[in-house]
Structure formats: C-alpha cells, structure tokens
A = this chain, B = another copy of it.
Amino acid sequence: MPRPSRPKLSPQIIVDAALHMVDTAGDFTMPGLAERLNVRPSSLYNHVAGRAEIVELMRARVMDDIHVEGVGAEDGDWVETVAVLAREYRLSYSKHPRLIPLLTAHTVQTDVAFGMYNALATAFAAGGFAPAQVLHAITTLDSFVLGSALDLAAPQEVWANTPRANEPMRAALAAAGTAPHRADDAFEFGLGTLISGWQARSRAV
C-alpha cells in the first residue's frame, strides 16, 4: 500500500504517539515511533523536521496546556494570582513527568509560555516590586517549578533506608514517609515559603 487516500500521519498524531511513549517508557526513538504508527521511520520526515522538532512540539504541547485566561486581572490579590499560576504551571508538567528530563536537554526558552510570564509580571508589579526584581521573581518561580517537576520524575523511594543520615535527617525521613504525594506536599511547602518571602519583601519596600 503505497499511499492511502487520507494521510496516515500528521504532526499531531506523531506528537501524541511520542508523548505516549515517553509517558510509558521514559523515552522515544524514531524507529519505535514508526512501529507504533505502523509506518516506516522515513515516513516521519514528511511531517516533522526530525527528532529535535518532535521534542519541541511536545514542549509546546505541555506549555499550551497552561490556562492563564482570566486569572489575575486588576481585581487585587497578586499573591493569590501568583499561587494559582504556579500551581497551573506545575500541574501541566506533572501530567508528563518523564518528559521533563528530555526538555532540559536543550533548555530552549521558546516563547510559548509568554502568556504566563506576562501574567506573572503583572502580578509581581502589582505587588510593588521594581522591574528588575520582577524578572528575578519570575526566574525564581521558573527554577523552582522546573526543579520540582524533575522531582516528580524521580523514583519513589528516593531516600529509602539510608544509614548515613544524621539524627535530624533521620527524623525528617521518618516523618515524611513514602507518601505518594510527598512531592506534592514538598511543592506546596516550597510555594508557601516563596510566597511568604515575597510578601515580606513586598512590605519591606
């Protein structure tokens, strides 16, 4: 069968399949992708430039998943706006935790996330931060969310049975347990810490 009346492939279809492979296997290859789509590897190149472009399309997919509409108008609470955006940002990552390591391979800062950056800038400016501080605050949140997302992809029993922990560390590990939402709790705690810090610095101005 040389060519069906309707194409068997599209960027859309390819990205879906690649994302599924990453979710289940932690990575993807062009031959593996082709097999999954019942196609020869060379066929993929009729729709995407190559492997790198597929990664970028997955990045865009995740970023587009972030909802910013409506959040954080002029109606006041900049702290709440930042918190909502941060959670939304991380939530979109958490849907495909194993994708994150692939995305950090190049750190190509596409402008896909600009909707969120704009919303954050508005919120921090409303909080009274100077322009230079606004960018730093956004960068801080960005670093924290990305780092937290990497934590999601880590194996569950990260710090299990560890003989080399001292007393405070051992107590901390015992208290945290291996709760399935340990990473979630840690994220909320960290976000709370950042917000407390921003509030303190906002008042200090």
Point out the residues of chain B lying under 8 angstroms from A133, CB to CB.
Answer: 189
User: Cβ of A106 < 8 Å from any Cβ of B?
Assistant: yes
Query: Chain A interface residue count: which class?
Result: 35 or more
Name the B residues within 8 Å of A169 (CB-CB): 114, 117-118, 121-122, 134
Let me know if A143 is at the binding interface, CB within 8 A: yes
Q: Which residues of B sit under 8 angstroms from A100, Cβ to Cβ?
A: 104
Separation in Å of the A184 CB from the closest CB of chain B? 11
Residues of B with C-beta under 8 A to A54: none
* Contact indicator B193/A201 (Cβ below 8 Å): yes
> Which of B109, B122, B165, B200 has a CB less than 8 Å from the CB of A158?
B109
Q: How far is the CB of A36 from chain B (nearest CB, A)?
A: 22
Cβ 8 A contact of A186, one of B135, B150, B175, B194 = B135
The residues of A with any CB-CB pair to B shorter than 8 Å are: 100-101, 104-107, 109, 111, 114, 117-118, 121-122, 124-125, 130-140, 142-148, 150-151, 153-155, 158-159, 162, 164-166, 168-169, 171-176, 183, 185-186, 189-190, 192-201
